[in-house]
Chain A
Amino acid sequence: MYGSLNSAELDALRLSLEVAVRSVAFSLPLAVVIAWVLTRTRFLGRTLFDAFVHLPLVLPPVAVGYALLIVFGTRAPVGAWLRAYFGIELAFTTAGAALATAVMTFPLMVRAIRLSLDNVDPGLEAAARTLGAGPLDRFFSITLPLMLPGILAGAVTAFAAGLGEFGAVITFAANVPGVTRTLPLALYTAMQSPTGDAIALHLAGLSFLLGLLGLLAAEFLVRRVRRFVGR
């Protein structure tokens, strides 16, 4: 029954992987910066900013997708500007699906990175200062390597979660076969079709397998890296 995948299923799998990879690649550097800002700086409105970053965790995904449509839609202000100056189209594209996924998984990533940053002893950064390291140098030579387990954990968790993002993707990027129809969207489509039972079961099994593999890989990688950074 699970012997082979038809081309539509392969498309969905490929798209899911592509969307998840692109969303992680796009949001990871930003997540590191924001985690650092939220952990190491104090400024007016920090709590509000913190809440805003975490908003996708508690909002209905459809609302997030709708908000993205308002900002990044073809005729929306930012969307039109991106299109005019950079030729970037987000609504109803794979890139758009990646953006919606990135926004939804962003809080997960920031949380994991913050946890790892909390474990980086500021005393080590002070020691690096006395050894002549300036702010950027310190960040890249001490802080970042020591955060690596958390960054990796955040990336893999966000990737695994991103494979299955549904509500925001379908709202912002729609359900276009081969463009934005990722695994969960394909699964949903199959369930809507009277003859799609076998395909739905197929795709559900695949999602289950991918999720499990993702989590196991995360655990394995984090352990390896932790040993590498000596903690």
Chain B
Amino acid sequence: MLRVSVSKRRGEFALQAAFAAPTPGVTALFGRSGSGKSTLVDIISGLLPPDEGEVQLGDTVLTSTQQSVSIPVERRRIGYVFQDARLFPHLSVAGNLRYGAARAGPATPVIVFDEVVGLLGLGDLLHRRPRELSGGEKQRVALGRALLSQPQLLLLDEPLGSLDLARRREVLPYLEALRDRLLIPMVYVSHEFEEVLRLATHLVLLDAGHVVAEGSVSAMSLRPELRLIVGADLTGSVLEGTVSACNDAAGVADLAVGSGTLRLSLRGAVPGTRLRLQLLARDVILSTREIAGLSVRNAVCGTIAAISPDEEDTVLVSVDIGGAIVLARITRAALSALGLHAGQPIWALVKAVSMRGHAFRAPMRPELTSHSPS
């Protein structure tokens, strides 16, 4: 467990944040720019001392203003991948990778040079200089360099923030592979929800220097605090399920979610694997009875768990499908026309194609039970 409870004032900005990140796992610090995410990771790394508070990793107190403890950055064994990579320009890629490895101490390495090179696809880059690398390649090298310092925690501060969408999608699979193959806990700062969706096992929502909610990605996807950060268009529940069938000829796969099954437009899914997908609230249609003759591939039956305010003219209806919650955005007019109320049985209709590109490999380790800060 990584426990952080700190305060820091910087001019007008005041950070006062506490969260507990399960380890191992990927904890995403998510919030708009200026919400204090980077300040928080700087404090965890030790590069920035907090005004007050504590940072504790496992049994080790890294920082404690009360106990006057502050382990120097260079002895914390916390890897840090910066947004701007910060590769050493006078060293080759291999030299950069070995920089941290050479200073990692005598402890048995968790990951060795060849493994990192293989995992991150760096084989062809070893003799190049940093200025000869693309943005995505730089970040992969920075990642490898941090890993080879044998960190007990890896901090990633918007590592994809300076990359365009194509480069981002080039690096993301490497990060997923690290998450699933290594036991190194990670704290991942981002303001792109897609990255959170693909990587996080635990989500901490930050706003104006405060932690507003934390928990599993699925649980957080239902929270109004997240809606405020991602905006109305990206509102939607995050579901995890197991692939129950896959028909590549038809280009569809079935995913068991809660007590229902969702059919999505997806090729190459392996039955038995777990997927995580985001179902946008605006893509879900509600019906009070089963309807035939529609092109919509999914009609799952559930009960209305809650109806909550959304934007001015719309509401969000939470539909419980055997434990999995699907959010549907409908107009207030539709709400009154259908006379919907909590506890009522309801059909949720979803087009298979609306989930295309929204499904990702779920983290191998199951999410820990969600909880909110008191």
Q: In the assembled complex, how far is the CB of residue B314 from the closest CB belonging to chain A, in whole angstroms?
A: 45
Cβ-defined partner of B89 (8 Å) among A126, A130, A230: A230
Q: What are 26 residue pairs bridging A and B, where the CB atoms are less than 8 Å apart in the complex? A: A123-B82, A123-B84, A124-B86, A124-B89, A126-B47, A127-B80, A127-B86, A129-B73, A130-B74, A130-B76, A130-B78, A130-B79, A130-B80, A131-B99, A131-B100, A131-B149, A132-B77, A132-B100, A132-B103, A132-B104, A133-B99, A133-B103, A134-B74, A142-B88, A230-B90, A230-B130
Q: Assuming the A-B contacts A130-B79, A132-B103, are A145 and B146 also in contact, with contact meaning beta carbons closer than 8 angstroms in the complex? A: no
Residues on A with C-beta less than 8 A from B105 are: 132
Tally of contact residues, B, Cβ under 8 A: 29
Q: In the assembled complex, how far is the CB of residue B133 from the closest CB belonging to chain A, in whole angstroms?
A: 11
Q: Assuming the A-B contacts A127-B82, A130-B80, A132-B77, are A228 and B45 also in contact, with contact meaning beta carbons closer than 8 angstroms in the complex? A: no
Whether A131 contacts B78 by the Cβ 8 Å rule is: no
CA distance A224 to B253 in the complex (A): 59
Listed in ascending order, the chain B residues whose CB lies under 8 Å from chain A are: 45, 47, 72-80, 82, 84, 86, 88-91, 99-100, 103-105, 129-131, 145-146, 149
Residues on B with C-beta less than 8 A from A123 are: 82, 84, 86
Q: In the assembled complex, how far is the CB of residue B94 from the closest CB belonging to chain A, in whole angstroms?
A: 14
Q: Which of B45, B89, B91 has the most CB of A within 10 A?
A: B89
Q: Assuming the A-B contacts A128-B99, A131-B100, A131-B145, are A230 and B47 also in contact, with contact meaning beta carbons closer than 8 angstroms in the complex? A: no
Q: In the assembled complex, how far is the CB of residue B141 from the closest CB belonging to chain A, in whole angstroms?
A: 12
Contact flags A116-142 to B (C-beta < 8 A → 1, else 0): 000001011011111111100100011
Residue in chain A with minimal CB distance to B104: A132
Number of A-B contacts (CB under 8 A): 67
Q: In the assembled complex, how far is the CB of residue B347 from the closest CB belonging to chain A, in whole angstroms?
A: 53
Tally of contact residues, A, Cβ under 8 A: 21
Residues on B with C-beta less than 8 A from A42 are: none
Q: Assuming the A-B contacts A130-B78, A131-B103, A230-B129, are A121 and B86 also in contact, with contact meaning beta carbons closer than 8 angstroms in the complex? A: yes
CA distance A131 to B145 in the complex (A): 8
Residues on B with C-beta less than 8 A from A146 are: 89-90
Q: In the assembled complex, how far is the CB of residue A80 from the closest CB belonging to chain B, in whole angstroms?
A: 45
Q: Nearest 8 pairs between A and B by C-beta?
A: A132-B103, A230-B89, A131-B100, A229-B90, A130-B80, A127-B86, A129-B73, A145-B90
Whether A131 contacts B146 by the Cβ 8 Å rule is: yes
